[in-house]
Amino acid sequence: MTIKLVAVDIDGTLITDDRKITPDVYEAVQEAKKQGVKVVIATGRPIAGVQELLNELNLKEPGDYVITFNGALVQDTSSGKDIVKDAMTYEDYLEIEYLSRQLGVHMHAITKEGIYTANRNIGKYTIHEATLVDMPVFYRTPEEMTDKEIVKIMMIDEPEILDEAIAKIPKEFYDKYTIVKSKPFYLELMNKSASKGSAIVHLAEKMGIAMEQTMAIGDEENDRAMLEVVGTPVVMENGVDSVKALAKHITKSNNESGVAHAIREWVLN
């Protein structure tokens, strides 16, 4: 069946390890657009960390959409209008902030405007995330977070520290929140309704596209939800084994223009 919508992860998928879009990937995306295929970036990043890529790929025209915060926010890229927004409550923030202190891991919360941490000694992975997504970092006590519209919360720490903490997270947190590990040093917590998969289902319905006509391309555990719902799940050669098991196709690595290969091989042919 003809593919009409392609959802593409960013880090480890769309861009190379040095954070570039290869000419081959750019050309493949433009070829898909010319054939009427909707290319939608689907990322854990906040919207500020995606704007440059949307501009570079000409994905800010009327009818273009972007999925950010791992599906918690879906926007019309030409107008900036929110299509889906599954925010978290202040009570959610307090509960997760307290848990992070019990587990001994760094944590920060993200809004559309910035990254907020209650750690006076700001963790290096908070700084890494701020640099990656081009967002400011603010120190705020939990009491100062009451008026913030939080879209995503992240536990961030050294991989071995984070893994030890993850093993101690009570089951009720998994029942209450969407929890995904996006990098060895990132664990992301969101509104239970939020996922890349639910966002793609919503967009497909909005555009009148059958799920059998959708493709997703990813590499990490936070891509699992979208790979599970689309008709054609594609995983990068550099992807983790747990998501490779979901793939209908394995494409080339992110450094070898794997997204371009996937589009040309399974969308444009």
Which residues are known catalytic residues?
Answer: 9
- Token representation of residue 231: 């008709």
φ/ψ of residue 101, rounded to 5: -70, -40
CB 97, CB 154: distance < 8 Å: no
What's CA 251's distance to the chain center, in Å? 19
Q: Please tell me the distance from the alpha carbon of residue 20 to that of residue 135, in angstroms, as a whole number.
A: 19
For CA atoms 56, 59, 65, 71, the dihedral sign is negative
Q: Please tell me the distance from the alpha carbon of residue 16 to that of residue 82, in angstroms, as a whole number.
A: 29
Q: Name the helix (H) or strand (E) containing 172.
A: helix 171-176
